[in-house]
Amino acid sequence: MDALRYVFKRILLMIPILIGISILTFFISNTIPGDPARLILGPKATPDGIEELREEMGLNDPLYVQYGRYVNGIFHGDLGESTYSQQPVIDDLERYFPATLELTLFAMLITVLIGIPFGVISASKKDKLPDQFTRVFALLGVAMPAFWLGLLFLLLFYLKLGILPGSGRLDNGVSPPDMITGMYTVDALLTGNMVAFKSALIHLILPGITQAAVTIGMITRMTRSSMLEVLQSDYIRTAQAKGGSENRVLYGHALRNGIMPVITLLGMTFGHALGGSVLVESVFSWPGLGKYAVNAITYLDFPAVMGVTLLIALLFITVNLIIDTMYHLIDPRLKYN
């Protein structure tokens, strides 16, 4: 019961946070000098055309009136219409967001599957060869700019070796699976479309690894230091004294305690990856939210800017909530409050 009440309370708390974010975004983006109407009409527009469009778009109303209109729209499920694409923002988000989410989830999966074992190995073999190896690996991942790494991967795997595709989400000639979640791999699996699944997965590899490179490094290092601390503690010595095998002590006893700070970091990086994947998306022509968001700002497409910001904020908060709930699952001693 405590758990449910805790989650419910946290969900209620989201409302003021989102309102705050929406106010900030709305007013800050409106302080950018420039005229959205002029940008829609292009440099060759006539002054009276611009004025008429401003009136039509309601840009001549005071900001608080415009904000009120926006919030009112949200309550009717309407995020406004993108001035750039002429499409409802909600449709645009539905179109671009799943691509970003899919890439981010895939990158996080790689991160967890590689980063945590590497960290544990590194800690258990402190200062030995495996530790040195993972240290260099982690440093390389963190130090190499994603953009540059992506181009290197393209040169090697796409141009020279020709074993992996260089851009997009699917091969030319493969049609997307029926839309359920918008994440091609998931949809293809759900509909049993193996051709699309294979194509979508292959296309995820290079951008996924590029995106994961940085986070793998961070997670490895964090797991290592957290594990080192845990491995010093009395209960580990007891476990070892009782004759538990090395793997059982490491993964069964130590990791459970050692993983707490890693989970926090995972939550943070997930949120960061969602909003910050624009460079990776750009190198691999990944049609995600990043490019959409950049376009939205360039063209002062306020409804789109608002939509993207609110969506990312909502996800960030939700992920944090999930992480916080996970603490309690992993460490039952924690109290809900």
Partner 1 sequence: MKHKNLWAKLALFLLIAVVVLSGCTGKYGNEATSGNAGTNNSGDTSGENTDDAPAANENFDENVFNFATNQDIPQLDPHGSAANTSFRVTYMLYDRLVTYEGSSTEPKPMLAESWDISDDNKTYTFHLREDAKFHDGTPVTAEAVKYSFTRAIDVNKSAAGIFKKVIDKDSFEIVDDHTIKITLKKPFGPFIKTLGTVFANILNPNLAENHGDDLGESYIADKEVGSGPYILESWDRGQKLVLKANPDYWGEKPTMETINVIIVPEPSTARLMLEKGEIDMIDNTMISPEVLKQMDGKNGVKVVKSAGYQIDYMPMNMTSGALADKKVRQAIAHSINYDALLESVYLGEADRIGGAVPDGMFGFNPDAKLYDYDLDKAKKLLEEAGYAEGLKLEIAISENNEVRKNTALLLQSDLAKVGVELEIKTYAWPTFLDLVTTGKHNFGLVSWTPDYPDPDYNLWYFGHSSSKGPGFNLAFYENKKVDELLETARASTNEDERAAAYKEIQDIMAEEVPYIFVAQPYVQAPLRDWVKGYEINPMNTWYVPFNKITKAQ
Nearest distance, CB of residue 15 and partner 1, angstroms: 31
- The amino acid present at 188, given as its one-letter code, is A
- Asked if residue 57 binds partner 1 (CB under 8 A), the reply is no
Segments in the chain forming alpha helices (H): 2-31, 36-41, 47-57, 63-75, 89-110, 116-124, 129-143, 146-153, 184-191, 194-231, 234-241, 246-247, 255-258, 260-276, 278-283, 289-298, 302-330
Q: Which stretch binds partner 1 (CB under 8 A): 39-47, 124-132, 263-271, 325-333?
A: 39-47
* Residue (of 128, 89, 7, 3) closest to 309 by Cα position: 89
When asked if residue 267 is in the footprint of partner 1 (CB under 8 A), the reply is no
Strand partners, 88: 81
Q: Which of residues 213-242 bind partner 1 (CB under 8 A)?
A: none
Scanning residues 117 to 176, which ones bind partner 1 (CB under 8 A)?
Answer: 117, 120-121, 151, 154-155, 158-159, 162-169, 171-176
Residue closer to partner 1, measured from CB, 105 or 317 = 105
* Residue nearer to partner 1 on the CB measure, 20 or 34: 34
**Residue 81 β-bridge partners:** 88
Q: How far apart are CA 263 and CA 277, in angstroms?
A: 20
- Which member of 21, 26, 92, 186 binds partner 1 (CB under 8 A)? 92
187 touches partner 1 by CB under 8 A: no
Stretch that binds partner 1, among 59-67, 285-293, 314-322, 328-336 (CB under 8 A): 285-293
- Phi/psi of residue 88, nearest 5 degrees: -60, 135
Q: How far apart are CA 255 and CA 230, in angstroms?
A: 8
Q: Does 292 bind partner 1 (CB under 8 A)?
A: yes
Smallest distance, Å, CB 82 to partner 1?
9
Contacts (CB under 8 A) with partner 1, residues 14-33: 32-33
Residues 6+ apart with CB under 8 A from 173: none
Interaction of residue 248 with partner 1, rule CB under 8 A: yes
- Contacting range for partner 1; rule: CB under 8 A; set: 113-121, 130-138, 227-235, 316-324: 113-121
